[in-house]
């Protein structure tokens, strides 16, 4: 029975330790996310809201506010998760402290009884009488062993009380830290929510002023989308052309996938192995438009399509190759700024909306090597890079490839 109780105690203690470890790991993950989101808001403020001289149109202003709203909303969610996790941890610690306090009191009572009993028979004469009153040698030996065991038990009980007291002190310290952290997070979250409400109010005001122009805005967005599709079509044509040329040189046919040399296979394999770890194509930047088909952030009735992501950055920012490769094409399409296509085996990275070019077709580039500068629109002050990744002719979501995008 006693062994069963000890097993149950150790079993539940072990589970508690695992739960606490998992909780701490999750708390660290959430804290990393929270810090990253706070830094992202700082970058958004620096890159989208610092240039007060730029004459942004109402739609552009509303779009920028939406970018910040998205990150603020995510920050609130992450902080709420942290707070809820801390609440559960605090409740668990409070229960643990209560249980440990009860056990400590039991230990102290038992120890007091032991001391009292020991005091009643502490004299040397009493101990000798206890031994000499034995009926035989075996009984006397057993009584000696009992006295030794009793002394050891007293020492162990004293040590256990000391350990339990120390544990309680540590639990109390941890509890105070956790409660302070929770209060700090709640306070910070309230401030973020205040900013969020202000921005939502400002955005509503801007959108209200846009309602009369909704139809003309939709026309502008459709026109911009048409131009984007034309550029994407030209990029697709250039990739197919490059595949056909490369395959012809190897005595192969087809324009859908690259037939690779051993060297190109190795390069492609290394590129794929770095999925999720590729560097940003900019030293500083924030993601302002996602990959894929999506409703326009402001004019929700209009749908937009993107074969890559759009990143905002500072004026005169340099664009850099995300991996070693060869410049496959430099595209200068009518009505748009230059784009650079870099081949990495059967992968291609595309860098659109460049203002200055540092490379030409056939150049070999290394990872993080500057290939040009992002174009800055003088009318609204925006400096935006469109970045895409292709596997042969298939577009891929860069968010899954670039580190912490």
Helix (H) or strand (E) holding 145: helix 137-210
- Quickly state the pLDDT bin for 154 (edges 50, 70, 90): low
pLDDT of 220 above 70: yes
Taking alpha carbons only, the member of 371, 370, 357, 356 closest to residue 315 is: 356
Q: What is the mean pLDDT of residues 101-110?
A: 76
Is residue 355 within 8 A of residue 364, CB to CB? The reply is no
CB 210 within 8 A of CB 298: yes
pLDDT classification of 104: cutoffs 50, 70, 90: confident
Separation of CA 37 from chain center: 9
pLDDT in tens, 55-74: 567 888 888 999 999 999 99
Domain 213-400 CATH assignment equals 2.70.70.10:
yes
Q: How many CB atoms lie within 10 A of CB 180?
A: 10
Q: What is the pTM of this model?
A: 0.71
* CA dist list (Å): 279 to 71, 123, 260, 288: 21, 80, 25, 18
The more confident residue out of 7 and 307 is 307
Q: Find the mean pLDDT for residues 334-348.
A: 94
Domain with CATH 2.70.70.10 in the chain: 213-400
51-61 b/e with 16+ CB inside 10 Å = b? beebebeebbb
Per mean pLDDT, which range of 19-33, 145-159, 184-198, 342-356 is the poorest? 145-159
pLDDT in the model for residue 143:
64
Joined together, the tokens standing for residue 14 give 């072990």
Contacts 24+ apart (CB under 8 A), 156-161: 157/107, 157/110, 157/111, 157/114, 158/111, 160/107, 161/104, 161/107, 161/108, 161/111
- The mean pLDDT of the chain is 84
Q: Residue 2: what pLDDT?
A: 46
Separation CA 71–CA 68 (nearest Å): 5
Instruction: Return the higher-pLDDT residue of 119 and 153.
Output: 153
pLDDT at 233 over 80: yes
pLDDT attached to residue 130: 54
């Amino acid at each position: 029975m006693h062994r069963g109780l000890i097993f149950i105690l150790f079993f539940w203690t072990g589970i508690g330790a695992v739960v606490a470890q998992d909780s701490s790991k999750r708390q660290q993950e959430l804290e990393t996310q929270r810090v990253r989101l706070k830094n992202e808001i700082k970058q958004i403020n620096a890159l989208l809201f610092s240039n007060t001289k730029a004459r942004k149109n109402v739609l552009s202003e509303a779009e920028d506010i939406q970018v910040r709203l998205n990150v603020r909303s995510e920050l609130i969610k992450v902080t709420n998760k942290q707070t809820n996790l801390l609440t559960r941890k605090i409740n668990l610690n409070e229960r643990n402290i209560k249980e440990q306090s009860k056990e400590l009191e039991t230990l102290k009572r038992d120890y007091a009884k032991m001391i009292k009993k020991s005091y009643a028979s502490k004299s040397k004469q009493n101990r000798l009488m206890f031994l000499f009153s034995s009926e035989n040698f075996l009984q006397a030996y057993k009584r000696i062993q009992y006295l030794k065991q009793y002394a050891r038990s007293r020492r162990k009980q004293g040590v256990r009380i000391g350990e339990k007291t120390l544990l309680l002190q540590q639990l109390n310290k941890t509890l105070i830290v956790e409660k302070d952290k929770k209060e700090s997070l709640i306070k910070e979250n309230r401030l973020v929510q205040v900013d969020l409400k202000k921005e939502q109010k400002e955005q509503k005001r801007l959108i209200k002023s846009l309602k009369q122009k909704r139809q003309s805005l939709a026309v502008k967005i459709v026109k911009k989308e048409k131009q984007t599709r034309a550029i994407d079509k030209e990029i697709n044509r250039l990739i197919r052309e490059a595949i056909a040329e490369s395959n012809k040189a190897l005595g192969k046919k087809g324009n859908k996938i690259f037939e690779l040399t051993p060297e190109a296979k190795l390069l492609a394999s290394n590129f794929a192995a770095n999925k999720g770890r590729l560097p940003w194509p900019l030293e500083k930047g924030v993601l302002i438009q996602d990959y894929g088909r999506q409703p326009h952030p402001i004019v929700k009735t209009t749908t937009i399509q993107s074969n890559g992501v759009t990143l905002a950055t500072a004026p005169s920012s340099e664009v850099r190759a995300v991996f070693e490769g060869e410049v496959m094409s430099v595209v200068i399409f009518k009505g748009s700024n230059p784009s650079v296509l870099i081949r990495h085996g059967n992968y291609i990275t595309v860098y659109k909306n460049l203002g200055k070019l540092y490379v030409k077709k056939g150049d070999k580039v290394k990872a993080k090597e500057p290939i040009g500068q992002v174009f800055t629109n003088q009318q609204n002050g925006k400096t935006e890079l469109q970045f895409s990744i292709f596997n042969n002719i298939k577009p891929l979501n860069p968010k899954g490839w670039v580190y912490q995008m």
